[in-house]
């Protein structure tokens, strides 16, 4: 009898923390790791690159339209003879910072709106759902363009504009999670033990609603980067900072002479967003194992 | 609830949304630094305080906020969106002339993405490890990650500059002389690249979701029943499963309308497509506020009508919604 008990204790593994399991599942996912490594490299390039390669991205350094690899310019020069590699390295920082802060802002708005409208019923829910619906019908990019055009093209304004238009997806997910969780027994237990509404929302429900929100937040960074790229491609960006979309927008009239000045920065945006969506997919598989077969 | 009641509620809802867009528009003009008087003074090359006050009185900018708001909404209800300083033309005329081009682009891209997406999704769901399924995974990663203007520029470089298959820009060939069909064909020819670029994002989204949804439906009990009855494979998939599987795809498509319009703005700029997007771009560069806000209003209208149509389509394929009202 004692033997069997010992035997059981050694073969059945201790139930591990779900976060540990998720982490292991994530690290076993090859494409997610590829995404993570790519993103790390891009972040390193963004923050160390300008130090290691101090060419000014606004300065005319050589003849215009120098093809990549010639005259010592790894990625060539653009229509004003500016070094594309320098533009790429300096633009990465803006792209990443704007993307991450806009995503953070939209996640904050989305989670607040979603949690409140999922938790409360009646007037609060109705009002918040209407607001969400309203932001869903606003053509997001046009609205951003209008905001930036009316209130100026500072990076703060761009972050604000992107954040304000892109939270509805997060709100929908947060709301449905909160609505599901608020019916569970541990929420009832929390209420029975005298927790206030805000305590229940903040400490009981939200931590359990986080997995899908984290996945969505990751993907939001990608779409915020695409958003910023579109705005700066259209020229609606701070003219004193380089960003990838802006380089493409400035060079697009010259695609006959130098298609590389358009394709290379575009490739940079593509690879960055791709890396982020691979990480997002990996997180999705790791955090929502039930949906894995999708 | 009967059909008429549901319809009225939906229309009322749409009207409230549109009204909110108007209020937001007005708030934006109000909050933005500088007003109409400043813009006009600027175009005249500066004006002194007296002239400024005159302009403000003429445009009644000194009225209380609510009075101005009511007047603005009243004007819009009479289809008067103001006067464009830049084009020197009523904004409504300007927009109505550009709207058809945008609608053509948006609707074609959305329909193409839905049709091809569902076909790809259904096909690959029956063979989840096959080449089509991998193609969809690759396609959806590309569609989600590639900026749409870059996709457009790549298409332009490859299929219009390197291989001169399609026109570089515009919607019609002005030198072309011919009947309706010749012209329709010409527009279709100009449309290929912009539609491809715009639908690439949504094709990815729809094919991925319809694959997932189809795989789920194919595992359900009533499909097994249909198979057990001895129905042919094709009939089971297309008659029984597809009807239920497209439901979430249509919901998603409805939610994407605002993204499609946004994408159209960028794609139009890339291909110089003479629609609302290029108009918005020009108006923003010219700081032509009435035109910009008019476009925001009209494109919200496009999204709202798109949502209503999606809803109608949803009811058409899913009888359960019809009964629930």
CATH number of domain containing A128: 1.10.3720.10
The pLDDT of B262-288, averaged and rounded, is: 86
pLDDT band for position A111 (50/70/90)? very high
Cβ count within 10 A of residue A37: 12
Q: Are A279 and A32 in contact (CB under 8 A)?
A: yes
pLDDT band at B37 (very low <50, low <70, confident <90, very high): low
Tell me the nearest-neighbour CA distance from A137 into chain B, angstroms: 6
* pLDDT given for residue A1 in this prediction: 43
Chain A contacts in chain B segment 123-142 (CB below 8 A): 141-142
Q: Which residues of B touch A256 (CB under 8 A)?
A: 161
Chain B residues whose CB is inside 8 A of the A280 CB are none
Do A259 and B157 count as a contact with CB atoms less than 8 A apart? yes
- pLDDT bucket at B245, cuts 50 / 70 / 90: confident
Give the residue carrying structure tokens 């790429």. Answer: A88
Q: How many domains does chain A have?
A: 1
Mutation to test the B interface, candidates A30, A136, A142, most B Cβ within 10 Å: A142
**Residue B207 touches chain A, beta carbons under 8 Å:** no
Is B94 a residue whose pLDDT tops 80? yes
% of chain B with per-residue pLDDT over 70? 92
The predicted model gives B35-45 an average pLDDT of 67
DSSP element (H, E) containing B69: helix B65-77
Residue in chain A nearest B291 by alpha carbon: A146
pLDDT(A15) > 70: no
Task: Tell me which residue range forms the domain holding A63.
Answer: 19-292
A141/B299 touch (CB, cutoff 8 Å), yes or no: no
pLDDT exceeds 50 at position A25: yes
Kindly tell me if the per-residue pLDDT of B280 is higher than 50. Answer: yes
pLDDT, tens digit, 9 for 90 and up, residues A179-234: 888 888 888 888 888 888 888 888 888 888 888 888 888 888 998 999 999 998 88
Put simply, the answer to whether A150 touches B285 (Cβ < 8 Å) is no
B217 reaches A (C-beta below 8 A): no
The neighbouring-strand residues paired with B89 are B84
Residues 247..276 of B with a Cβ closer than 8 Å to A: which?
Answer: 255, 257-259, 261-263, 265-266, 269-270
The secondary structure of B278-293 as a DSSP string is HHHHHHHHTT-HHHHH
Nearest CB to A255; choose among B153, B258, B265 = B153
CB proximity A127 to B under 8 Å: no
pLDDT of residue A270: 93
Q: What is the rounded distance in angstroms from the CA atom of residue A124 to the CA atom of residue A108? A: 18
Task: List the single residue in B16, B145, B281 with the smallest CB-CB distance to A270.
Answer: B145
| Full set of structural domains in chain B with CATH | 3-77 (no CATH), 91-324 (1.10.3720.10)
Cβ contact, residue pair B262, A245, below 8 Å: no
Q: Does A235 touch chain B (CB under 8 A)?
A: yes
Measured between beta carbons, the chain B residues lying within 8 angstroms of A266 are: 146-147, 149-150, 153-154
A24 domain residue, yes or no: yes
The tens digit of pLDDT for each residue in B107-126 reads 899 999 999 988 888 888 87
pLDDT at site A5: 47
Q: Is residue A219 part of a domain?
A: yes
The answer to whether the CB atoms of B303 and A150 lie below 8 A apart is: no
Binary contact (B266, A230; C-beta < 8 A): yes
The answer to whether the Cβ–Cβ distance between B285 and A235 falls below 8 Å is yes
CA of B235 vs chain A CAs: smallest distance (Å): 24
Residue B90 is inside which H or E element, if any?
strand B89-90
Structure tokens at B278: 């290029």
* Contact assessment for residue A190 and residue A200, using Cβ atoms and an 8 Å cutoff: yes
Whether the CB-CB separation of B75 and B81 falls below 8 Å is answered with yes
The shortest C-alpha distance from A227 to chain B (Å) reads 8
Interface mutation vs chain B, best among A137, A237, A269, most B CBs within 10 Å = A137
What's the average model confidence in pLDDT over B307-324? Answer: 75
Q: Has residue A2 been placed in a domain?
A: no
Whether the predicted pLDDT of B44 surpasses 90: no
Residue where the block lists tokens 């609603």 = A209
Within-domain flag for A202: yes
**CA A259 to the chain's CA centroid:** 28
Identify the band that residue B80 occupies on the pLDDT scale cut at 50, 70 and 90: confident
What would the two tokens of residue A22 be?
Answer: 């998720």
Residues of A in contact with B146 (CB under 8 A): 266, 269-270, 273
- CA atoms of B226 and B218, how far apart (whole Å): 11
Confidence band for B173, pLDDT divided at 50, 70 and 90:
confident
Residue A10 lies in a domain: no
Contact B17 A137 (CB under 8 A): yes
Give contacts of B 20-49 with A, CB under 8 A. Answer: 20-21, 24, 28-29, 31-33
Mean pLDDT lowest among A77-86, B95-104, B148-157: A77-86
The pLDDT value given to residue A294: 39
Q: Is A236 an 8 Å CB contact of chain B? A: yes
Q: Tell me whether residue A11 is in a domain.
A: no
CB-CB: which of A142, A233, A277 is closest to B141? A277
Q: pLDDT tens digit string along A132-174?
A: 888 888 888 888 888 888 888 888 889 999 999 889 889 988 9
Share of chain B above pLDDT 90, in %: 3
Chain B, nearest residue to A252 by Cα = B153
User: What gap in Å lies between CA A38 and CA A36, rounded to an integer?
Assistant: 5
Q: In this complex, do A266 and B33 lie within 8 Å of one another by their Cβ atoms? A: no
Q: Is the pLDDT of residue A292 over 50?
A: no
CB contacts of A141 in chain B (<8 Å) are: 261-263, 265-266
Q: Per the CB < 8 Å rule, is A270 touching B147?
A: yes
Helix, strand and coil content of chain B, in percent to the nearest 5, comes to: 80, 0, 20
In a domain, residue A41? The reply is yes
Is residue A119 in some structural domain?
yes
Count of C-beta atoms within a 10 Å radius of residue B267: 29
Residues in B closer than 8 angstroms to A35, CB to CB, are: none
**For B206-218, what is the mean pLDDT?**
84
Neighbour count for residue A138 (Cβ, 10 Å)? 25
Q: How confident is the model at residue A65 (pLDDT cuts 50, 70, 90)?
A: low
């Amino acid at each position: 009898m004692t033997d069997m008990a010992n035997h059981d204790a050694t073969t059945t593994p201790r139930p591990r923390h779900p976060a540990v399991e998720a982490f292991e599942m994530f690290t076993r996912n090859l494409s997610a790791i590829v995404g993570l490594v790519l993103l790390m490299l891009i972040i390193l390039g963004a923050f160390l690159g300008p130090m290691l390669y101090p060419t000014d991205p606004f300065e005319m350094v050589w003849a215009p339209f120098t093809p990549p690899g010639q005259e010592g310019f790894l990625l060539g020069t653009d229509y004003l003879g500016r070094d594309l590699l320098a533009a790429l390295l300096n633009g990465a920082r803006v792209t990443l910072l704007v993307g991450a802060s806009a995503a953070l802002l939209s996640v904050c708005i989305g989670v607040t709106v979603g949690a409140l409208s999922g938790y409360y019923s009646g007037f609060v829910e109705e009002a918040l759902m209407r607001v969400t619906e309203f932001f869903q019908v606003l053509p997001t990019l046009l609205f951003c363009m209008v905001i930036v055009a009316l209130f100026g093209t500072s990076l703060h304004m761009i972050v604000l504009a992107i954040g304000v238009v892109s939270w509805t997806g997060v709100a929908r997910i947060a709301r449905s999670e909160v609505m599901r969780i608020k019916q569970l027994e541990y929420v009832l237990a929390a209420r029975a033990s005298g927790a206030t509404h805000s305590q229940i929302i903040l400490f009981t429900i939200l931590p359990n609603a986080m997995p899908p929100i984290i996945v969505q937040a990751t993907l939001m960074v990608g779409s915020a980067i695409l958003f910023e790229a579109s705005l700066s491609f259209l020229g609606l960006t701070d003219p004193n900072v380089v960003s990838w979309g802006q380089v493409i927008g400035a060079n697009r009239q010259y695609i006959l002479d130098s298609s590389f000045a358009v394709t290379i920065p575009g490739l940079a945006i593509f690879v960055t967003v791709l890396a982020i969506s691979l990480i997002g997919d990996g997180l999705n598989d790791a955090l929502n194992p039930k949906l894995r077969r999708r | 609830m009967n059909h008429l009641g549901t319809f009225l509620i939906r229309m009322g809802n749409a009207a409230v949304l549109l009204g909110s867009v108007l209020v937001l528009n007005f708030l934006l003009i109000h909050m933005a630094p500088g007003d109409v008087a400043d813009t006009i003074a600027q175009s005249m090359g500066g004006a002194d305080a007296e002239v400024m006050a005159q302009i403000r009185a003429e445009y009644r900018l000194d009225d209380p906020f609510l009075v101005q708001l009511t007047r603005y909404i009243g004007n819009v209800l009479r289809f008067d969106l103001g006067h464009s300083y830049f084009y020197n033309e009523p904004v409504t005329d300007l927009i109505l002339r550009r709207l058809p081009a945008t609608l053509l682009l948006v609707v074609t891209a959305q329909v193409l993405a839905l049709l091809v997406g569902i076909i790809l999704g259904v096909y690959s769901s029956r063979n989840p490890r096959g080449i089509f399924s991998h193609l969809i995974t690759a396609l959806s990663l590309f569609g989600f990650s590639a900026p749409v203007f870059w996709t457009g520029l790549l298409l332009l470089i490859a299929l219009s500059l390197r291989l001169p298959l399609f026109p570089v820009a515009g919607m019609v060939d002005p030198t072309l002389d011919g009947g309706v069909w010749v012209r329709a064909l010409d527009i279709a020819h100009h449309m290929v690249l912009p539609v491809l670029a715009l639908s690439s994002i949504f094709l990815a989204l729809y094919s991925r979701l319809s694959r997932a949804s189809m795989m789920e439906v194919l595992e359900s009990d009533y499909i097994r029943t249909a198979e057990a009855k001895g129905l042919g494979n094709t009939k089971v998939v297309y008659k029984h499963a597809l009807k239920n599987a497209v439901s979430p795809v249509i919901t998603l498509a409805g939610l994407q309308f605002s993204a499609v319009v946004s994408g159209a703005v960028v794609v139009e700029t890339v291909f110089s497509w003479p629609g609302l997007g290029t108009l918005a771009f020009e108006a923003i560069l010219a700081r032509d506020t009435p035109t910009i806000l008019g476009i925001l209003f009209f494109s919200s209208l496009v999204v709202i009508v798109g949502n209503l149509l999606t809803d109608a389509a949803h009811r058409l394929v899913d009888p359960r919604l019809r009964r629930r009202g």
